[in-house]
């Protein structure tokens, strides 16, 4: 897998329409609290947290409709 196929916190926050802090809270969450929902699948690549686009789509599909 190449680095271009991976997304960082900034890119995911833009896709979902929330702040980077919210995504960071979701990454470490173990249970749902308000808008913070557990977001599994993140890996560390050096000092960056990255995830595949497929994992982001799967997580988005689990979110309740607005």
Provide the pLDDT for residue 47: 94
**What's the pLDDT tens digit per position in 3-30?**
568 999 999 999 999 999 999 999 999 9
Q: For residue 5, what are the CA distances in angstroms to 31, 54, 55, 57? A: 28, 10, 12, 14
**What's the pLDDT tens digit per position in 27-57?**
999 999 988 999 999 999 999 999 999 999 9
Provide the pLDDT for residue 65: 76
């Amino acid at each position: 897998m190449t680095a271009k196929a991976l997304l960082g916190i900034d890119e995911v926050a833009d896709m979902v329409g929330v702040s980077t802090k919210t995504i960071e809270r979701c990454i470490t969450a173990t249970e749902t609290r308000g808008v913070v929902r557990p977001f599994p699948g993140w890996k560390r690549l050096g000092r960056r947290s990255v995830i595949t686009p497929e994992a982001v789509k799967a997580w988005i599909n689990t979110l309740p409709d607005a």
